[in-house]
Amino acid sequence: MFLAVGALLHQLQTFNKPTSTRRTRTLLILGILIPVSAYHCWADEIYMHQITFASMVLLCGRKIRMLVRERIPNAEQRSRLLSLANGGLGKAKISGPKMVLRFTWWHILTGIGAYVGMAVVEYLVTVEDGKTDKIEEGFVWPVNAVLRNLDAASSGKKAR
């Protein structure tokens, strides 16, 4: 999950940036993820890992919301996409006491959240290039249903 959110953060932070900025941000992200992961494995310490993970989720959420506001002109489409993104981010934040019992559910829900986040970002980075036609066919529910409705609304067609 740590690397999934790291990959999502990387895509969001390097999208539409010049090569030098991409290189710098890639090195910065790797320069944080690798030492934190190594320290987590070596010291069996969870707090730094959790703080880094939560920070990445928050940074991804902030950037996704910004991209939705910038790239989706229709208010209804913006609302649907933000609802999908918020649902994905919400799944990534589930935790609590008795983590042993919730460990499996945490990973399952975080995996779903990462998937939804990646799908939303993929849509947002392709929307400007006009490559979103039938993009929903590459995803499963609930992402394909939301993207199908977005594309139908933007073209004036009725959703399938």
Longest dimension (CA), the chain: 56
40 is in an annotated binding site: no
Distance CA 69, CA 85 (A): 13
Using alpha carbons, select from 87, 111, 118 the residue that is nearest to residue 9: 118
Q: Which two tokens stand for residue 22?
A: 């991409």
Distance CA 155, CA 83 (A): 21
Radius of gyration of the CA atoms of the chain, in A: 17
Please give the distance of CA 130 from its chain centroid, rounded to a whole number. Answer: 21
Strand, helix or coil for residue 16: coil
Q: Which two tokens stand for residue 38?
A: 């190594």
Distance CA 63, CA 20 (A): 20
* Binding site residue list for Zn(2+): 107
* Binding site residue list: 107
